[in-house]
Amino acid sequence: MKWLNVHVDDVVLGADQHEYAVRERTLRAGRDWFRLERLDGTGAISCSPPPQDEATLVRRGDHSAEAAAFTAFTGAGFTVGILGEHRE
């Protein structure tokens, strides 16, 4: 999977071989920034990998609520632009 397709609540494998939950994805200065929290609770990092770089997905988060909202808005004729995602 590419970083372009990683979203909040997904879990990815870090370069240190630890699992990280994606807690925030923000567009800043034309680049995607991710805030990742280690699942064992021992730390967090921020990174901005190139969107076409490979990301090792451990598991996909539940995005059904966002998908339903997107479908409702676009079905009603709205155009949706996403600038960031955030989950506590």
Query: Mind listing the pLDDT tens digit for each residue in 10-63?
Result: 999 999 999 999 999 998 888 899 999 999 999 999 999 999 999 999 999 988
The pLDDT-based confidence of 83 (bands split at 50, 70, 90) is low
The pLDDT of residue 82 is: 66
| Span 3-86 CATH architecture | Roll (2.30)
Token reading at 83: 């600038």
What is this structure's pTM?
0.78
What lies within 8 Å, CB to CB, of 52 at 6+ separation is 2, 3, 4
Dihedral (Cα; 81, 26, 62, 43), 10-degree rounding: 180
Mean pLDDT of 77-82: 78
Over 90: is that where the pLDDT of 85 sits? no
Over 70: is that where the pLDDT of 86 sits? no
